[in-house]
Chain A
C-alpha cells in the first residue's frame, strides 16, 4: 500500500515535470542568483548595540557584562529572580556553575514534570543575529536539551560577543555543520508572545515568560 503510494506520487511528479526538470539539479541550484546581502557593514561594537536594541524591542531584559564579572552578575540575577531550583546544562563553564552554587541544580535531561518545577534555566547559545534580534541554540555544550529552555518560566542566556553576527545568512552558515550532524535548533527572538485576542500583544504564552540576555564582551 505505502510502497504503491510512493511509486505513484513520484511517477505523477516525474510526469508533471518531464519537460522542465534540469539534467543536473545540483549545478542548476548552484547557479541560482543570490544578490542579497551576505553580511552587514557594522563594526563589532555597533553590531552589539543593534542586537541590544532589537532584544529590548522584543521585551528581553538585557544585561551587559565582561567575562570576568559574569559569575557574580549571573548569581545576582538568580537571586533577584528568587530562583532556587536552576537548570544548568552539561558542559556549562565554571562561571555559571559557580553562579548557581547554593541552589538546587536541576539536570537538563530531567523529566519535563521536574523541569516544570524549576525556577530558571541558565544556558549559552550557538550564535546570535543582530539584525533580527535572534538567539540560536543548537544543543552544543552549555546549551542543554530543548525542553530545558522551554518548560521553566525564566531563561537566562549568555551571549558572548564572539558569537554575534550581523545578518541571517551569516548565522545560517555558522549553523550548517551542526544541522548536518543532526542537531536540533531553537531560534528565539524575544519571549513567546501572542496577538491572537483582538490583536493585543500578550507576552509569554507557553515558553519562558522572562528571557534575560547577558551580552558578554570578551576579555
Chain B
C-alpha cells in the first residue's frame, strides 16, 4: 500500500460539515438524486422479472468470486488466444508501472481515457504525469472535473457540483476561445467539447479504459457509456490498454444477458445506455492493433477471504445506492475521501483500502436499508455496515485506542436489560419523565448532560410523553369501551 498516491483526505466527520455548507452542491445533488431515483423506480417497475434478474446477478457474481482463480486463468487464456496481452498487478503501483512502460514503448505523449473508476483508484493520471504523458479524460463530466483540478463528486455524474457558468469559464480557458464564441447553453458547451476532443481522438495513439465486464469464456471486454467517447477510445488508437479489478469478470458470454439488463436500469435509469462496446483481443483491420489487459489485485484477493468481502465484491459500480442514500444525498461524494463514495464506498473502502479514516465511513449511514433494496446484485449493505462497525471497534480495542469496556458498552448492556422486561421498561419511562424536565425546551430535548450531549446537540429528540401508549391502552381497557 506504500505505492498509493499521496492524497490524505479529511476524515468524514470533518469533511461532511464543510460539504453541508456548500449550498450549490446540496441543491444540485438533491435535484440529481431525486431525478435519477424516480427514473430508476420507473424502469425497474416496468420490468416484471426484476427480482429474478437481481437474484441471478447475485448468484452469478457469487459463483464467480468463489471460483475466481479458475475464471481468471480462463480469461487470461481466452484474451491471449484472441491476440491480447495479459498483465498482472499486485497493487496500484505495479499497475501504474505496467501502463507507464506500455505507453513509453509507443512513444506517445498524450493518451485518451474513458471514464474509469479503477484508474482513478490507482491514481493512473498522476503516475503518467511523472513521465510527462498527458492523460485526457474524454467523458464530458470527467473532463470538466479534470480541467477544474478537482475530484468527481458522484460516480455517475462526476461534475454534478459544477454549474454551467463555471463550466463555461473552464472551457473558455482550456479550448482558448473568446467569450463571444461560447455561451453557457449546455448544448453549446457539449459541442465545444466535441470539437476539442474530436482532434484528440483522431490523433491519439493510445487509448486507456476500465472494464464493466470481462467474459472468461471468450476473452471479451465490455464498456458501457453514453457519449461515444468510450467507442472512440477503444476503437481509434493503435494501442488499447484496459485496467480492470480482478473481480470484474463473468464466466460466460450468456451471463451478460443478466447484467446488460441490471446495470443500465440501476445506473443511468435507462432501459439501455446509448453505447456499449465489446471487443475480444484484436481484430484484423478493425480497431487497435495491440491490446493489453492489466488485471489488478490491490486488496481484492484479501477482501475475497470471507463472506462479507465476497458480497462486497459483487458490486458492479452502478451508483444506485448513492442516489437513495439520505446521507450521500446531503453531503455528496467528496466527504467520503475516496473514488468510491456513498453506501458502497462505506463498506468497500475499509476492506479494499483500509486507509487512516476509513473505519469511520460505516458510521456515515442511518442504516435505513434503502441501499439494499435498490442494489442490482442484492448486496446487503446495511448488515455489512454494522459488521464493519464491529470490526472497527475490535480493531481499535486491539490497538488500545478504545478501552476493552467503555461507558457506552455499560449503557447498552443496561438498555438491553431494560428493553427485555416490560416492568423494567415502564420503570425507566417513569424515571425519564422525572429526569427530563430541566432539558425539555419547545417540546424537544436539548442540551443533555455529559456524554449524552453528543446525541442531543445534533438531533431533535422528543421527550418521553406524560402518558405512554401502554398506559393509555390499559386505561382504555378499564373504561370498558
Assess whether A13 is in contact with B246, with CB atoms less than 8 Å apart.
yes
What residues on A are CB-neighbors of B275 within 8 Å?
Answer: 186-189, 192, 207
User: In B172-225, which residues have CB < 8 Å from any A CB?
Assistant: 186-187, 189-190, 193-194, 197-198, 201-202, 215, 217-218, 220
| Of the residues A14, A28, A175, A192, contact of B228 by C-beta under 8 Å | A192
**Given A116-B202, A145-B285, A9:B304 Cβ within 8 A:** no
Cβ of A97 within 8 Å of any chain B Cβ, yes or no, is: no
| Of the residues B66, B201, B273, contact of A17 by C-beta under 8 Å | B66
What residues on A are CB-neighbors of B304 within 8 Å?
Answer: 13, 16-17
Cβ of A173 within 8 Å of any chain B Cβ, yes or no, is: yes
Cβ of B270 within 8 Å of any chain A Cβ, yes or no, is: yes
Cβ of A29 within 8 Å of any chain B Cβ, yes or no, is: yes
Q: How far is the CB of B196 from chain A (nearest CB, A)?
A: 11
Closest to A199 in B: B32
**Given A5-B90, A33-B59, A145:B286 Cβ within 8 A:** yes
Counted as pairs of residues, one from A and one from B, with CB atoms less than 8 Å apart, the total is: 256
Q: How far is the CB of A142 from chain B (nearest CB, A)?
A: 14
Cβ of A131 within 8 Å of any chain B Cβ, yes or no, is: yes
Assess whether A182 is in contact with B186, with CB atoms less than 8 Å apart.
no
Assess whether A206 is in contact with B260, with CB atoms less than 8 Å apart.
no
Assess whether B201 is in contact with A20, with CB atoms less than 8 Å apart.
no
Assess whether B56 is in contact with A33, with CB atoms less than 8 Å apart.
yes
Cβ of B445 within 8 Å of any chain A Cβ, yes or no, is: no
Assess whether B302 is in contact with A12, with CB atoms less than 8 Å apart.
yes
What residues on B are CB-neighbors of A183 within 8 Å?
Answer: 280, 283
User: In B387-406, which residues have CB < 8 Å from any A CB?
Assistant: none
Closest to A146 in B: B235
What residues on B are CB-neighbors of A37 within 8 Å?
Answer: 48-49, 52
What residues on B are CB-neighbors of A63 within 8 Å?
Answer: none
Cβ of B443 within 8 Å of any chain A Cβ, yes or no, is: no
Docked complex Cα distance between A116 and B295 (Å): 34
Q: How far is the CB of A71 from chain B (nearest CB, A)?
A: 27
Assess whether B187 is in contact with A202, with CB atoms less than 8 Å apart.
yes
Assess whether A9 is in contact with B246, with CB atoms less than 8 Å apart.
yes
Q: How far is the CB of B47 from chain A (nearest CB, A)?
A: 9
Docked complex Cα distance between A22 and B295 (Å): 23
What residues on B are CB-neighbors of A15 within 8 Å?
Answer: 301, 305
Assess whether A33 is in contact with B55, with CB atoms less than 8 Å apart.
yes
Q: How far is the CB of A12 from chain B (nearest CB, A)?
A: 4
Assess whether B279 is in contact with A184, with CB atoms less than 8 Å apart.
yes
Highest count of chain A CB atoms <10 Å: which of B65, B254, B256, B257: B257
Interface mask (B260-303 → A, CB under 8 Å = 1, otherwise 0): 11001000101111111111110101110000000101000110
| Of the residues A21, A109, A147, A176, contact of B66 by C-beta under 8 Å | A21
Docked complex Cα distance between A34 and B139 (Å): 35
Cβ of B63 within 8 Å of any chain A Cβ, yes or no, is: yes
Of the stretches A77-85, A98-106, A132-140, A156-164, the one at the interface is A132-140
Cβ of A72 within 8 Å of any chain B Cβ, yes or no, is: no
Closest to B225 in A: A192
Cβ of B67 within 8 Å of any chain A Cβ, yes or no, is: yes
Interface mask (B54-83 → A, CB under 8 Å = 1, otherwise 0): 011001100101111111110000000010
Cβ of A150 within 8 Å of any chain B Cβ, yes or no, is: yes
What residues on B are CB-neighbors of A17 within 8 Å?
Answer: 65-69, 304
Highest count of chain B CB atoms <10 Å: which of A5, A15, A188, A204: A5
Assess whether B157 is in contact with A199, with CB atoms less than 8 Å apart.
yes
Cβ of B231 within 8 Å of any chain A Cβ, yes or no, is: yes
| Of the residues A147, A176, A182, contact of B235 by C-beta under 8 Å | A147
Docked complex Cα distance between A49 and B131 (Å): 55
User: In A106-150, which residues have CB < 8 Å from any B CB?
Assistant: 109, 112-113, 116, 129, 131-134, 139, 145-147, 150
Q: How far is the CB of A183 from chain B (nearest CB, A)?
A: 7
Docked complex Cα distance between A188 and B287 (Å): 17
Assess whether A112 is in contact with B272, with CB atoms less than 8 Å apart.
no
What residues on A are CB-neighbors of B25 within 8 Å?
Answer: none
Cβ of B89 within 8 Å of any chain A Cβ, yes or no, is: yes
Cβ of B127 within 8 Å of any chain A Cβ, yes or no, is: no
Docked complex Cα distance between A202 and B191 (Å): 9
Assess whether A21 is in contact with B70, with CB atoms less than 8 Å apart.
yes
Cβ of B242 within 8 Å of any chain A Cβ, yes or no, is: no
Highest count of chain A CB atoms <10 Å: which of B141, B167, B227: B227
Docked complex Cα distance between A176 and B275 (Å): 19
Docked complex Cα distance between A117 and B304 (Å): 50
Q: How far is the CB of A211 from chain B (nearest CB, A)?
A: 10
Cβ of B28 within 8 Å of any chain A Cβ, yes or no, is: yes
User: In B157-172, which residues have CB < 8 Å from any A CB?
Assistant: 157-160, 163-164, 167
Docked complex Cα distance between A190 and B31 (Å): 25
Assess whether A197 is in contact with B67, with CB atoms less than 8 Å apart.
no
Q: Which B residues fall within an 8 A CB radius of A?
A: 28, 31-32, 35, 48-49, 52-53, 55-56, 59-60, 63, 65-73, 82, 87-90, 94, 98, 138-141, 144, 157-160, 163-164, 167, 186-187, 189-190, 193-194, 197-198, 201-202, 215, 217-218, 220, 226-229, 231-232, 235-236, 246, 251-254, 256-258, 260-261, 264, 268, 270-281, 283, 285-287, 295, 297, 301-302, 304-305, 310
30 contacts between A and B (CB under 8 A): A9-B301, A16-B68, A21-B70, A28-B63, A32-B63, A36-B52, A37-B49, A116-B198, A129-B272, A131-B271, A132-B264, A146-B277, A172-B260, A176-B253, A176-B254, A179-B215, A184-B277, A184-B278, A184-B279, A186-B275, A186-B276, A187-B277, A191-B274, A196-B190, A197-B167, A199-B157, A202-B186, A204-B190, A205-B228, A206-B138
Q: Which A residues fall within an 8 A CB radius of B?
A: 2, 5-6, 8-10, 12-17, 20-22, 25, 28-29, 32-37, 54, 58, 109, 112-113, 116, 129, 131-134, 139, 145-147, 150, 168-169, 172-173, 175-176, 179-180, 182-200, 202, 204-207
The 10 closest A-B pairs by CB, nearest first: A207-B228, A206-B228, A12-B301, A196-B141, A132-B272, A187-B276, A192-B228, A205-B227, A189-B272, A16-B304
16 more contacts with CB within 8 A, not counting A182-B281, A204-B190, are: A9-B90, A17-B67, A34-B52, A112-B201, A131-B271, A168-B260, A172-B257, A173-B257, A179-B280, A180-B218, A185-B279, A189-B272, A193-B274, A195-B226, A197-B167, A206-B232
